Amino acid sequence: MANQEDQFKKVVSHAKEYGYVFQSSEIYDGLSAVYDYAQNGVELKKNIRDYWWKAMVQMHENIVGLDAAIFMHPTTWKASGHVDAFNDPLIDNKDSKKRYRADVLIEDYVGKLDAKIEKEVEKAAKRFGASFDKEQFLATNARVVEYKNQGNAILKRMGQSLEKEDLADVKALIEELEIGCPLSGSKNWTDVKQFNLMFGTKLGASADTAMDLYLRPETAQGIFVNFLNVQKTGRMKIPFGIAQTGKAFRNEIVARQFIFRMREFEQMEMQFFVRPGTQKEWYEQWKETRLKWHLSLGMGADNYRFHDHEKLAHYADAAADIEFKFPFGFKELEGIHSRTDFDLSSHEKYSGKKLNYFDPEINEHYIPYVVETSIGLDRMFLAVFSHALQDEELENGTTRTVLKLPAVLAPVKAAILPLVKKDGLPEVARKIVEDLKWDFNVAYDEKDAVGRRYRRQDANGTPFCITVDHETLTDDAVTIRYRDTMDQKRVKIADLKAIIKEEVDVKNWLMKM
């Protein structure tokens, strides 16, 4: 078993080698925390986006889409609170001159306590064998309970201090826990300061009339400022939602961990507008619905958990993250936030335009409350990709590298392989490609021995290989090989489309929700 760091390095290098993710402007030595999606990556990303869009928009009569511009009137960000409060607490190490997010240093410390708990669980599971009761062990083992309490107390204190803007206490906590610089180990820290994450730019050509703008740090505000337009033109009745996917920009203090934390990234957000007083129910419902969406992809219920926020953002009355077990531990993948009427009220105040809704059922005007679901597309990509990448020991003692992407998300659904490059086999294989490409993204591959081609497609994440051999010329049948089981079956060419569709159809996956 490779350790976490090795496994993560493998993920990064595999993503590059197989055309998924490249560093931006690599020939100029790259740009920190900015990445490009290559030929396979762009397909995987599109498929994840589509999977989300279908589940959220197409399957809900009361949710519609939107594509708002990245540039917005600068007052938007005053109203949303981003100009004054979109800050991260930063701390510098005086010896190594490295800059960190103070909250992340503390969270990583707690992450180490979590890792210790997992070790205790592993050890106990080995010791007790089949009779091991994990829940009971977690609740009663003295050492585990101690780690858990310690972690909770630390996070609680940090949450409260950040809430009160007591940055001196955040520093005191780092010192009390004796947290050292992850690079140098030095404990010589500066004070904690706030740092605004928005990127500024200018609109207009002449220096004196140019307007200061921000690149949007979240897509949500595009939805809020269009709330009434969409409600009126779409004749939407509360409760209803507006969904959008698009780029967001944040000048992250510490941008490491590959596409987990980027400076330019893509969000998939949905704002659900509800009657005031009903937000708690909707919040619980959306937490459940979103978790089900994740589980439908079959990446293992144990790899997800909820984390309820201690420190609430200025706009929220409840918030939770869905965390995923990344190669570097459990981290936020998606946020579900009950945002109250903060945003709409604030835009009403700053714009001077009414943003309220008339509810015909109760004959009242009000500003709706909002429950938001917000997931990073790139983070979801990393979750799917890192979970899929496996080194598998085979019966004959060799290993294969296989990318077990959920078939519905895989960039290439099937590779068509003529067994040899002659005897009319390539022509038959090409014909199959021509036929299947109307429905699926497929590839043709004739280079190298067929075994090597299988391995290449395994590592590429292709769920099916379809091999055309000499018998095909007489029986109109081919061999279909399944990536995950390596099982092979002889099937009629005429049946291929139905067989592939069954496995990659969004409906069959989403029905598992």
Determine which residue in the list 82, 250, 339, 481 makes contact with ligand ATP, applying CB under 6 A.
250
Contacts of 165 (CB under 8 A, 6+ apart): none
Residue 376 contacts ligand ATP per CB under 6 A: yes
Determine which residue in the list 262, 291, 388, 493 makes contact with ligand ATP, applying CB under 6 A.
262
**At residue 135, what are phi and psi to the nearest 5 degrees?**
-55, -45
Residue 332 contacts ligand ATP per CB under 6 A: yes
Residue 445 contacts ligand ATP per CB under 6 A: no
Closer CB to ligand ATP, residue 373 or residue 462? 373
Determine which residue in the list 335, 411, 418, 463 makes contact with ligand ATP, applying CB under 6 A.
335
Q: In the window 34-73, what residues touch ligand ATP (CB under 6 A)?
A: none
Residue 28 is classified by DSSP as: G
Asked if residue 437 lies in contact with residue 485, where contact means CB atoms within 8 angstroms, the answer is no
Binding window for ligand ATP (CB under 6 A); candidates: 122-130, 326-334, 384-392, 470-478: 326-334
* Cα 321 to Cα 51, 159, 305, 462, 513, distances in angstroms: 20, 15, 8, 31, 19
Closer CB to ligand ATP, residue 288 or residue 392? 288
Closer CB to ligand ATP, residue 294 or residue 483? 294
Residue 89 contacts ligand ATP per CB under 6 A: no
Binding window for ligand ATP (CB under 6 A); candidates: 198-206, 287-295, 332-340, 422-430: 332-340
- How many residues bind ligand ATP (CB under 6 A)? The answer is 16
| Angle between helix 377-388 and helix 39-53 axes, rounded to 10 deg | 110
Residue 375 contacts ligand ATP per CB under 6 A: yes
CB of 332 to ligand ATP, least distance (A): 5
Asked if residue 263 lies in contact with residue 312, where contact means CB atoms within 8 angstroms, the answer is no
Binding window for ligand ATP (CB under 6 A); candidates: 172-180, 329-337, 390-398, 419-427: 329-337
Residue 149's H or E segment, with its range, is helix 142-163
Site string for ligand ATP, 264-303 (x = CB under 6 A): -x-x------------------------------------
CA distance 70 to 285: 30
**Is the Cα dihedral 394, 398, 401, 407 positive or negative?**
negative
CA distance 330 to 342: 30
Determine which residue in the list 374, 460, 462, 472 makes contact with ligand ATP, applying CB under 6 A.
374
CA distance 176 to 184: 18
Residue 241 contacts ligand ATP per CB under 6 A: no
Closer CB to ligand ATP, residue 339 or residue 347? 339
Residue 216 contacts ligand ATP per CB under 6 A: no
**390 in helix, strand or coil?**
strand
Class of residue 430 by CB neighbours under 10 A (exposed 0-12, middle 13-18, buried 19+): middle
Tokens for 304? 């997800």
Tokens for 260? 């987990």
Q: What is the binding site for ligand ATP (CB under 6 A)? A: 218, 250, 252, 261-262, 265, 267, 332-335, 374-376, 378-379
